[in-house]
Structure formats: C-alpha cells, structure tokens
Amino acid sequence: LAAKLIDGRKIANEIKDEVKFEVEKMVKEGRRSPSLCVVLVGDDPASKTYIKNKIKACQYTGIESRSIQLPETIKEAELLDVIHGLNNDESVDGILVQLPVPDHITERRVCNAVDPSKDVDGFNVINVGRFCSDQMTFIPATPAGVMEMLRRTGIETFGKNAVVCGRSKNVGMPIAMLLHADGIYETKAGDATTTICHRYTPDDQLRIFTKTADIVVSATGIPKLITADMIKEGATIIDVGINRIKDEETGKTKIVGDVDFNEVANKADLIKVVFCLLMSVFKELRRWDKIIKCHAKICSHMHQMLLRRFYV
C-alpha cells in the first residue's frame, strides 16, 4: 500500500478561505475586522520569517495586522510596558510575542503579561490552566494544528493508541493533552491512549511504543528519529519537527522533519503511512466581553498565521 500524504498546505488553505469568508461577513455586517499585533524582540532571521508569514496570512484573510520590532537590548520592564499598552488598546484583539526572547528576559513573565483574552498563543498561565482543565481557551498553535489535520483528514483518535515524541510545554505536552483528554469537554480532545516519550526514553523502548501506535506525533528536533521499521502498518505519522540541516550533496541548508521521509516513502509499499512533513498550525481565539462574545481563530501553515473573529 502506498503512503498517503496529508496535504497540510491544502488544509491550511481551506482554513484560510473559511476565515476570509468570516472576516468578510463581519465587515459586511458593519463590524471592524479583527486585528493582530506581533511583537518581536531582536532580529533573529527565523523569527522574522515566521512573522512575515503570519502577516501575509493576515493580509490574505482581511485581518488587520501590525508588528512591533524592539531592540535585542530592551529591558524586561520596557517590554512588559509595551505588552500592557497593547492589553489596554481596544483596537488590538490578539497579541503574539514571538519566542524565544533574549536571555536577560524571563519568558514566563512575558507570557503571563499578555492579557489572557488576547493571548492567541495560549501561553499565559491562566490559559494553560484552563486548557489542562479541559476548558475552552486559546490552544497553542502547533498542537491545535495537529488535531485539525487529524480531524479534517478523517483520522479517528477515539480509543486509539497514540505516541507523542517530545514533551515541551509549547508543543509536545499540549499535543499529548489534546490527544488523550476526554472529548466530551470543551477542548474536544481525542480520547486516545497516549504515551509521551522524551529524551530519557531509551531507544529500544521508544521503538516498542511506536510499533503499537496508531498515531505517532514527533516533535523532538532530531532528524531521522522515526524510521519506517518503527511504524505499524496503517499508522498515521504527523511530523512536527523543523530541523535545519546541511544537504550533503548540495551543501545548502534545508529543512527536514523528525521522520526519515525517504526511508518511509521507499517502504511505502510495505507500510501504509499517512505522513505529513509540513506543519499546519491552527489556533482558537476566544475573547469574553461583557456585551459581546468574540471568537477568533488563528491558523497557520509553516508559520503562516491568520486570525478569525466573529460575534456569537
């Protein structure tokens, strides 16, 4: 059986068109379009690319966007002031502080400074708490994207075995939360029996777990961690890894995932794998207001991001 590829780009484009439609509807009804503000500290080239793609996706969907670039040397207190200003700015619906921040700034303090109702990354501890209690909130983008890809591809998670490689607070842990938690609650999680593997999982154990998995999600940053012989026939693999490596033939830098794509693809007649190299990111934004309830979604594909808001 040949491997079936989940087309992350196609799913992302579908979502973007849905968001565009919602924004147009809002504007037609006389409401202003939603707005996103992205804050970047320093000028890391990868971060700049991510931000550029987020803004491009906003433009496509009709979402207002702006970015604030701050110097690498900015004091933590000054950055917190910028965030507080955005929290109080009624014209801003979503705030994204691009991570990582420089070492002299405490990431947790920055994440907690973002108003929970504008925290489209879902990194404020209040939103993390809501999420871990199965309550509706902003769900971190990559995990939400993984679930959206599974749902839109019709891959069942209920009662299945899932393995998540990686336990980072922004990626691995929330993916495992969404896969294992109870689907009857607000986060509509996957009800899968979920195993979390991490750097201290011995290789032979990792293999035992992945072999029995119906779904493997890898988010470790280790190229070729997942090879074809570790995968059960008919399993679904979602590769969230983004690794910049040097191509041995051309000498150029290229981006690869955690899964040995060529090996898996070559053995595809033996192993039916649903494989996604590219990452699709999808976010939920929920904002509670006394008069209106406002709901927005952010979606991104390879860090293209967009935001949707509509009144319920």
By annotation, the residues acting in catalysis are: 54, 98, 121
Q: Which is nearer to ligand ADP, 19 or 192 (CB)?
A: 192
Pick the closer one to ligand ADP by CB: 20 or 207.
207
Alpha carbon distance 307, 299 (integer Å): 7
* Helix, strand, coil in percent for the chain, rounding step 5: 35, 25, 40
Dist. CA 92–CA 192, nearest whole Å: 37
Q: Which candidate, 80, 146, 154, places its Cα nearest to that of 113?
A: 80
CA distance 37 to 114: 12
- 149/206 with CB nearer ligand ADP: 206
Nearest approach, Cβ of 167 to ligand ADP (angstroms)? 4
Interior angle at CA 294, CA 27 and CA 78, nearest 5: 100
User: Among 15, 252, 298, which Cα is nearest to 143's?
Assistant: 298
Among left, alpha and beta (phi > 0; psi -120 to 50; other), residue 225 is alpha
| Residue with smaller CB distance to ligand ADP, 33 or 170 | 170
CB 279, min distance to ligand ADP, A: 10
Residue 14: CB atoms within 10 Å: 14
Q: Are 33 and 63 in contact (CB under 8 A)?
A: yes
Shortest Cβ 68–ligand ADP spacing (Å): 24
For ligand ADP, give the closer residue by CB, 113 or 219.
Answer: 219
CB of 255 to ligand ADP, least distance (A): 13
Residues near ligand ADP (CB under 6 A): 165-168, 170-172, 197-199, 201, 206, 219-222, 225
State in angstroms the smallest separation of the CB of 2 from ligand ADP: 28
